[in-house]
A and B are shown apart, each in its own frame.
Chain A
Amino acid sequence: DVKVTQSSRYLVKRTGEKVFLECVQDMDHENMFWYRQDPGLGLRLIYFSYDVKMKEKGDIPEGYSVSREKKERFSLILESASTNQTSMYLCASIRGVRTDTQYFGPGTRLTVL
């Protein structure tokens, strides 16, 4: 059974702090994604990675960066958190983008004060 885990379920940070959200998958998936979920806006893609050290911008990359040093781990970084980054963050992974099901992590609810 595919398992996608995220480092925290809830996180509270202050404006200006550097924030790390981590995602780990245990199924040797090549592709990993970070989404942001806000009411009425659905799931918006922030960044994705199709291989170690590779990354591509999604639809809303501003204010975020990512790191993928190992195949199983994909980190989302908020260099200087702002209140408008308060949201639910969901990680996802998939083995082959063209053929397989995408699996989601449980989400991290981030509050920036």
Chain B
Amino acid sequence: GENVEQHPSTLSVQEGDSAVIKCTYSDSASNYFPWYKQELGKRPQLIIDIRSNVGEKKDQRIAVTLNKTAKHFSLHITETQPEDSAVYFCAARDYNKLIFGAGTRLAVHP
């Protein structure tokens, strides 16, 4: 089955800097890769996703890139703000379910 590894487990940046979170997956058949953000005490919410027929997708300050050959995908957040502080989860679809990474705790310091 699918296995997803996520790095780093914690990330601390200054406000305005960029943040990058990386994930690798094992099953080359996986074709859908969402990213979820979970603020403290709240439920995970989808922030961006990418399908295997696309190499990059952007939505304002966030972007996701996918390298199918290397089987890894990354979340990029530019011009970070304190409200970006949260736990971020990557995931890969394994046929009929999502397999999640262990999460990255991002702290953005003013």
Task: Give me the interface of A with B, judged by CB distance under 8 Å.
Answer: 4, 31, 33, 35, 40-45, 48, 50, 58, 90, 97-98, 101-102, 104-107
Contact = CB atoms under 8 A, between A and B. Distances in A.
Contacts of B49: 101
Interface residues of B, number: 21
A104 B98 contact: no
Contacts, number: 48
Q: Main SS of the interface on chain B?
A: strand
A33 B97 contact: yes
A43 B43 contact: no
B102 A101 contact: no
B46 interface: yes
B44 A104 contact: yes
Given A97-B93, A101-B34, A102-B34, A43 B100 contact: yes
Contacts of A97: 93, 96-97
